[in-house]
Amino acid sequence: MATKRVGIIGYPIRHSASPAFQQAALDFKGIDAKFEAWAVEPGMVVEWMAQQDRTDLLGFGVTVPHKQEIMKVLDYVDNDAKTIGAVNTVVVSKDKRLLGYNTDAYGFLEALQEDGGFIPEGQHVLVLGAGGVSRAVCTVLLLEGVASLTLANRTVARAEALLGELNTSGAKVEAVSIEPDALTASLAAQEPKALIVNCTSLGMLHGPDEEASPLLQEMIPPTSLVFDLVYNPAETPLMKLAEAAGAKTLGGLSMLVYQGTKGFQLWTGEAAPLDIMMSAAKKAVLG
């Protein structure tokens, strides 16, 4: 039998940690498959998919900027992915249909609860950024019953539009500007935040703003947990400021691995070796 193929599409994709920890899991389980990173330019997903031979393809992960466009080519989208409005995992079924899932929400909640020790119900939260992953994060936090959710973004209209699409489940929600003066004024009029989640790409290595933090130190309550979804570097500029403010911090690597365990199960039908994946991811990202 030929070696199976599985991979991840995105653009750019060369800094993805997924190939390292997914291949480690496949090798550990003795599955004859190769996990690759495929660079697919923006707007080219439909064309790329049409060129793929599905015979040996188990499926693939989907990252920026394709999580919504990929939905055009799918035969089935599961309910979580429909609610979130984005797909980050595609499975090729035995009859070669394309099935779409979203594992970001699972990965986020698992990391928040298991590694952050944080239960969202009844809490006041601040989410920074209103892009693809913010959609999954806000959906989960509202489903888990937060008391209030403030969504700060550079483009406020995008935050307003996102909140307008979500089921707020009785929580108080507000879209605000992430610009420091405006955000400081907004936060001064609100309950102190127990959780702050960075869903912007600020602070990401090789990104356009790798030295930047979306918040100033004085905006971070010492009693809060600051969860930065950026996973490279391990300690981001925001996390350094949060620690200086006395807050607890959590980086994005464990979320990445948790969402990857779910993908692994969907592609292979086997339980994912979490410890193997976590240590391979740490080695790939942190050296």
Ligand X SMILES: NC(=O)c1ccc[n+]([C@@H]2O[C@H](COP(=O)([O-])OP(=O)(O)OC[C@H]3O[C@@H](n4cnc5c(N)ncnc54)[C@H](OP(=O)(O)O)[C@@H]3O)[C@@H](O)[C@H]2O)c1
Known catalytic residues are: 67
The interface region with ligand X, picked from 46-54, 196-204, 240-248, 267-275 by CB under 6 A, is: 196-204
> Toward ligand X, which CB reaches closer, 4 or 175?
175
> Toward ligand X, which CB reaches closer, 4 or 112?
112
Secondary structure of the chain in HEC code, one letter for each residue: CCCEEEEEEECCCCCCCHHHHHHHHHHHCCCCEEEEEEECCCCCHHHHHHHCCCCCEEEEEECCCCCCHHHHHCCEECHHHHHHCCCCEEEECCCCCEEEECCHHHHHHHHHHHHCCCCCCCCEEEEECCCHHHHHHHHHHHHCCCCEEEEEECCHHHHHHHHHHCCCCCCEEEEEECCHHHHHHHHHCCCCCCEEEECCCCCCCCCCCCCCCCCCHHHCCCCCEEEECCCCCCCCHHHHHHHHCCCEEECCHHHHHHHHHHHHHHHHCCCCCHHHHHHHHHHHHHC
Evaluate whether 206 touches 212 at the Cβ level (below 8 Å).
no
Within 97-136, the residues that bind ligand X by CB under 6 A are: 104, 107, 129-134
Rule CB under 6 A: say whether 89 interacts with ligand X: no
Please state the closest distance from residue 76 (CB atom) to ligand X, in A: 23
Q: Binder to ligand X among 57, 199, 225, 272 (CB under 6 A)?
A: 199
> Toward ligand X, which CB reaches closer, 238 or 255?
255
Size of the site for ligand X (CB under 6 A): 27
Please state the closest distance from residue 88 (CB atom) to ligand X, in A: 8
The single residue listed with the structure tokens 């996973």 is: 231
Q: How far apart are CA 233 and CA 213, in angstroms?
A: 13
Within 163-182, the residues that bind ligand X by CB under 6 A are: 178
Residue type, position 19, single letter: P
Please state the closest distance from residue 102 (CB atom) to ligand X, in A: 11
> Toward ligand X, which CB reaches closer, 4 or 202?
202
Beta bridge partners of 128: 152, 198
The interface region with ligand X, picked from 25-33, 52-60, 251-259, 274-282 by CB under 6 A, is: 251-259
Please state the closest distance from residue 155 (CB atom) to ligand X, in A: 3
Rule CB under 6 A: say whether 255 interacts with ligand X: yes
The interface region with ligand X, picked from 33-41, 74-82, 248-256, 264-272 by CB under 6 A, is: 248-256
Select the residue whose beta carbon is closest to ligand X and give its number. Answer: 131
Rule CB under 6 A: say whether 29 interacts with ligand X: no
Q: Binder to ligand X among 252, 277, 282, 285 (CB under 6 A)?
A: 252
Rule CB under 6 A: say whether 54 interacts with ligand X: no
> Toward ligand X, which CB reaches closer, 4 or 214?
214
Binding site for ligand X (CB under 6 A): 64, 104, 107, 129-134, 153-155, 158, 178, 199-202, 204, 209, 229-231, 252, 255-256, 259
